[in-house]
Amino acid sequence: MHFEATLRSNIIAAAKDLNSNGVKFATFRKSFCNLDYWILTNKGGFQLRDSATPADGIGDIFSNGKKYGFECATAVIIILYKGVLDSLGADRFNQLFPNLYLYSWEYDSDLGLTTEEAPGASAQPGDVLYFKNPEVNPEKMEWQGENVIKLSDDLYFGHGIGIRSAEGIITSLNKHRVTGATEPAFLMDQFIYPAFDALSQHAPADMRPDCTNAGRPNPNAVRASIGARTYIRH
């Protein structure tokens, strides 16, 4: 099977697993984790312990979900890593991501993320999108938007909201607007996906793309190699 299709399928599966494994939504200030595998930083990020392998650290989030609470931006990063882990296998994953730090988009994600400026409707299942809530109640800034994984044509997973349609996510965000708000939440015209081609070079040969038809070229996309720092609104 083509690597991109495999990774997208595993990202979707990871999102569904995270939705049902007991993890909690928490702001960065109130984040928590299993301290057997992770060090909780003062920013609410998770730094992998030297005594744990990257594969075991990510795996524990999915097998011991009740020991974790984090924000939606962190959830998306965790889902992407789990998709890559399930696509490449533990040994290769451990080699590629030896110093995992889980926090948010403004930190190096090591996934070679690509931001594509295009209508959200053109995103594919497995892509990351963002619903923005422009008139959020300032006392509930955790609802200023929702990072989501697209699961199908009109179905998304957002940590803290669950699996819903676009309308369902917008309705949830609209409940947390400032009094007198007139502008509803909306899906932004951009989406993000990992560096499928670069990551595929570490996959079994039968999963690698044909070099004559590699990738998803787009002249408007902002690309980064694995290990590069990338940003997204949040």
CB 44 within 8 A of CB 71: yes
Tokens of 76: 């998306």
Q: CA-CA distance, 129 to 115, in Å (whole number)?
A: 10
Q: How confident is the model at residue 105 (pLDDT cuts 50, 70, 90)?
A: low
Flag whether pLDDT at 138 surpasses 60. Answer: yes
Which band of pLDDT confidence, cut at 50, 70 and 90, is reported for residue 109?
low
Cα dihedral 93, 99, 100, 102 in deg (nearest 10) = -160
Per-residue pLDDT band at 209 (split at 50, 70, 90): low
Q: What's the whole-number average pLDDT of the chain? A: 88
Residue 33: is its pLDDT beyond 60?
Answer: yes
pLDDT tier at 212, thresholds 50, 70, 90: very low
Distance of CA 152 to the CA centre of its chain: 16
CA-based end-to-end distance of the chain: 34
* Alpha carbon distances (Å) from 209 to 2, 131, 224: 6, 32, 19
Distance CA 113, CA 155 (A): 22
pLDDT at 232 (0 to 100): 38
Distance CA 29, CA 40 (A): 11
Report whether pLDDT(200) > 80.
yes
Residues 6+ apart with CB under 8 A from 110: 96, 97, 100, 226, 227
What does the pLDDT read at residue 221?
A: 45
For residue 216, what are its two tokens?
């998803």
Mean pLDDT (whole number) for 44-59: 97
Task: Give the Cα separation of 104 and 116 in Å (integer).
Answer: 18
User: Binning pLDDT at 50, 70 and 90, where does residue 121 land?
Assistant: confident
228, pLDDT greater than 90: no
User: Which residue(s) pair with 16 in the sheet?
Assistant: none
Burial of 47-63, coded b for 16+ CB within 10 Å and e otherwise, reads bbbeebbbbbbbbbbbe
Q: Which two tokens stand for residue 126?
A: 């497995």
- Cα 48 from chain centroid (whole Å): 18
